[in-house]
Amino acid sequence: MKMLSAAILLLLIVPNASGAQSNEASFDSSIESLRADLRADKVAIITQAMQLNDQDSKIFWPVYRRYEADVVKVNDQRVALIKSYADKFTSITDADAKGMIDQSLDFESQRTNIKRKYAKEFQKAGLSPLTIAKFLQLEHRLDLLVDLKIASALPPLLVKPADQSAAPNQ
């Protein structure tokens, strides 16, 4: 769980570090390394929380690996969106905001569609609806934790960058 928190926190510094062109490749490499660690921690959390028997484990993990591969692709888009937001924050235009809204909503739709797709695949592979529901509830809770950390680290558009020093402490 410590690595999970560290990975989330480092991912959240994307807005602060993305401006340095010369460090971008090494920073991207660091992000990928942390994302891999995050996935490993997630597997440990799922293993502990799900308490799968041998038969369910043999069914669950191969499907889960495919699920996670699809989630990684969607999360790649999210990381790119966060970097774009960080790069454009001080000069964001209506067109930029519109594009980011569309990308953000697409991300949420894709994430939901992946869960729907794999709920069916887990069931087709032989997992019980109760086991699938338990996994989806756990996955939802982990998503909420990550979403909250990301949201709390990003500067809000409600406060313009030039006005931030004059804004009251919240």
Domain ranges of the chain: 2-154
What digits encode the pLDDT tens for the residues 107-146?
999 999 999 999 999 999 999 999 999 999 999 998 888 8
**Distance (Å, rounded) from C-alpha 90 to C-alpha 162?**
8
pTM of the entire structure?
A: 0.73
Which H, E and C letters describe 63-115, residue by residue? HHHHHHHHHHHHHHHHHHHHHHHHHHHHHCCHHHHHHHHHHHHHHHHHHHHHH
Eight-state DSSP code of residue 23: G
pLDDT for 84-115, tens place per residue? Answer: 887 788 888 899 989 999 999 999 999 999 99
pLDDT digits (tens, 9 = 90+) for 57-85: 999 999 999 999 999 999 888 888 888 88
